[in-house]
Amino acid sequence: MDDYALSITQKEITAPPMILSQVCSRWREIMHDLPQLWSSISVDLFDLETNVQDLILEFARKSKPCPLQLRIYNNDMRGLLFRTVPTPEGRNAFRALLSHVQQCAALYCFGLEWEDDAVGCSDVAISFPLLRTLDCGASLDKIAANGHWFWDALWKFAPKLEILRVWTIPSADSIPVLLPWPQLTALAIRFQTEISGLCNVLRHCGALETLTIEDFVPEDNEEGDHTPVVLPLLRRLRIAIRTLPYRCIGPLLDTLSLPSLRSLELSFLAVYTPEWPSSLLAMLHETSPTLEELSFRSNSYITSITFPLDEILQLPNLTHLSLEGGVLDNLMPFIPAIFPMLTISPAATSAAGIFVPRLTHLKICLRGGHCIAEDEAQTILSMSESRSRSRLTSLGLDSEVSPLKEIDIDLRWHPYYVGWLQCKAKSLEDWNPFIRNPLRGRVVALEKDGVGFPLLYTRFSPSIEHHRNLR
């Protein structure tokens, strides 16, 4: 069900607030006193044959003084092959929506790559005095070429715009898109190939606090201006690379300088031979004074090359660490590698030599059919106990080392993994040694000491019981 108060498509119109207001006089009074229930409107302009202009205007009027959330889109898959134009009813609906964008605080638009004369709205004076969030699902350079009037208004009359999500940042030599880049605090990009075009924009984003690239596919041997880009306020960086090896991220990381970075999330979703780029290690070193959260996801197997633990565990202010990847028996076992490094010696007298002394949350997700063995479970518990609040207090380290608050071991299973055939007949206790005594008693003691243990509820995917029933 659509979450919008008014949702209009070619096939149907849903308007729950309107229906409720017609139940009786009491409900009409209630709905009149709750303008926020009228304040979200979604219109699919594709092949619209119903005159909905008055309905849109009524919802906009009844939503006052609440800000509007608008979704305007053209859900026409044919537009992938050739440009379509709106019907007269679609143009009227579009004009009605534009007449109220001054109330709009959040705007989502997709597939509106029409020529000015096809839309017939370039004569409408628009401004965005309340707009804070813009989610644009079309190519910025195409929209800029076809609808200067719309983007001119965003550039000149959107003083509160802070959050922007776009399909891609145009290349450096394409038509410039004049948006209020200097005032943005969050920028999300669905698909990015041009490093130079991205860097040209980022140089104008001095207030940016969050940068997300959902699919980064840089072109090989791209030439351009890769002089350093300093983002002084950026606190969170998220990048996903779906089809290329690790090293392709190198040129971008070499360009960025992030003196305030607190959260770094990297996802490498293609299966390549792991090759950790030196620029990534350099970024970890540069941001080590501020970095508090690190999340690394890889579809490759976990090895000492995939995760250079010596570098990662040197981060002095890291509080949250999340690592996800596959594991093979003939490669370096991951659990025996990381947990002894994190274990604090019972003879420790200071924080010197202790890895990640501020670590409070640790999550490790292993895919590929790995069962936690008894000795591995012992290693995990020993590390957790060494970082518990009571142990740190007894060592006199509670002012120098943060107590562990949560440790989550997440095993992702799939019936086609090699290990599945070896383990499918085991009971739940065989899968999870932490629910067997005496280890269960140690887990309970840790939980009483303030250490959350979600690994008691180890997750499997797909359902274990479903595949057991197939035997």
Model confidence pLDDT, tens digit, residues 259-304: 999 999 998 876 655 567 788 889 999 999 999 999 988 876 666 5
Cα 431 to its chain centre, rounded Å, is 31
Last residue of a domain, one of 161, 190, 205: 161
Question: Is residue 312 located within the same domain as residue 282?
Answer: no
Specify the pLDDT at position 373. Answer: 79
The first and second tokens of residue 46, run together, are: 């594709």
Question: Is residue 313 located within the same domain as residue 263?
Answer: no
Identify which has the larger pLDDT, 180 or 118: 180
- Evaluate if residue 69 carries a pLDDT over 70: yes
Full domain range(s) for residue 437: 292-471
Question: Is residue 424 located within the same domain as residue 296?
Answer: yes
Specify the pLDDT at position 289. Answer: 95
The pLDDT-based confidence of 14 (bands split at 50, 70, 90) is very high
The pLDDT-based confidence of 462 (bands split at 50, 70, 90) is very low
Helix (H, G, I), strand (E, B) or coil at 438: coil
- Quick one: which of 257, 306, 301 has its CA closest to 419? 301
Q: By the 8 A CB rule, do 214 and 190 touch?
A: yes
Long-range contacts of the stretch 388-393 (C-beta < 8 A, 24+):
388/446, 388/449, 388/450, 388/451, 389/449, 389/450, 390/449, 391/344, 392/344
Mean pLDDT of 166-185: 81
Question: Is residue 141 located within the same domain as residue 186?
Answer: no
Question: Is residue 150 located within the same domain as residue 172?
Answer: no
Determine the Cα–Cα distance for residues 287 and 216; give it in Å rounded to an integer. 22
The first and second tokens of residue 81, run together, are: 């092959």
- Evaluate if residue 251 carries a pLDDT over 90: no
Q: By the 8 A CB rule, do 241 and 248 touch?
A: yes
Strand (E) or helix (H) holding 340: helix 335-342
The pLDDT-based confidence of 319 (bands split at 50, 70, 90) is very high
Question: Is residue 324 located within the same domain as residue 370?
Answer: yes
The first and second tokens of residue 79, run together, are: 């537009």
Mean pLDDT of 45-53: 88
Secondary structure E strands in 331-464: 361-367, 406-412
Cα 194 to its chain centre, rounded Å, is 21
Question: Is residue 170 located within the same domain as residue 149?
Answer: no
Question: Is residue 24 located within the same domain as residue 170?
Answer: no
Q: What's the sign of the alpha-carbon dihedral 283, 284, 289, 291?
A: positive
Amino acid at 3: D
The pLDDT-based confidence of 73 (bands split at 50, 70, 90) is confident
* pLDDT per position as a tens digit, 99-145: 899 999 999 988 766 545 445 566 677 899 999 999 987 667 666 66
Question: Is residue 56 located within the same domain as residue 82?
Answer: yes
Question: Is residue 35 located within the same domain as residue 139?
Answer: yes
* pLDDT per position as a tens digit, 410-459: 776 554 444 544 555 455 566 678 888 889 999 999 999 999 987 654 44
Number of domains, the chain: 3
Rg (CA), the chain: 27
The first and second tokens of residue 456, run together, are: 């008691």
Determine the Cα–Cα distance for residues 371 and 420; give it in Å rounded to an integer. 10
Determine the Cα–Cα distance for residues 5 and 61; give it in Å rounded to an integer. 13
Specify the pLDDT at position 375. Answer: 86
- Evaluate if residue 255 carries a pLDDT over 80: yes
Question: Is residue 305 located within the same domain as residue 261?
Answer: no
Last residue of a domain, one of 262, 291, 320: 291
Determine the Cα–Cα distance for residues 330 and 349; give it in Å rounded to an integer. 38
DSSP result, 29-90: HHHHT-GGGG-EEEEE-TT--S--HHHHHHHHHHHTTSPEEEEEE---GGGGTS-----HHH
Identify which has the larger pLDDT, 124 or 22: 22
Specify the pLDDT at position 145. Answer: 62
Last residue of a domain, one of 107, 136, 161: 161
Mean pLDDT of 197-223: 87
Question: Is residue 157 located within the same domain as residue 208?
Answer: no
Mean pLDDT of all residues belonging to the chain: 82
* pLDDT per position as a tens digit, 363-404: 988 776 667 778 888 999 999 999 999 999 999 999 999 999
The first and second tokens of residue 221, run together, are: 């041997």
Of 225-239, 247-261, 327-341, 454-468, minimum mean pLDDT range: 454-468
DSSP result, 154-216: HHHS-TT--EEEES-PPPTTS------GGG-SEEEES-B--HHHHHHHHTT-TT--EEEESSB
CB atoms within 10 A of CB 227: 8
